[in-house]
Amino acid sequence: MNHQVIHPMVKVQRQVRSLVDSQIVKPEDRIWKIAFLFGDDWTRIKQELLEFEFSMQDPLSELLAVEVWEEEDE
């Protein structure tokens, strides 16, 4: 059986897409605006975003534009 592991940021991206679709946030809102919506998970999510070279000032639309979340092999 071939099991594909979904990157944790895919789930975050889906949640953000849902927030935008529900008009809770706008695509032009800054990433930091979603911090309170993720509660205790935010520290981990923020660290992941920083590792992918996002700034908390970037618009949510940039987060939503990512097509593939992959870790770079070191």
Residue ranges covered by each domain of the chain? 8-64
pLDDT value for 70: 79
Average pLDDT over residues 18-29: 97
pLDDT digits (tens, 9 = 90+) for 25-71: 999 999 999 998 999 999 999 999 999 999 999 999 999 999 988 76
Positions of E strands within 1-74: none
Read off the tokens for 52: 């992918």
Rg of the chain in Å (alpha carbons): 13
pLDDT value for 40: 93
CA–CA separation, 8 vs 10, rounded Å?
5
CB contact at 8 A, 25 and 33: yes
Q: Which pTM does this prediction carry? A: 0.84
Select from 24, 30, 33, 17 the least CA-distant residue to 66. 17
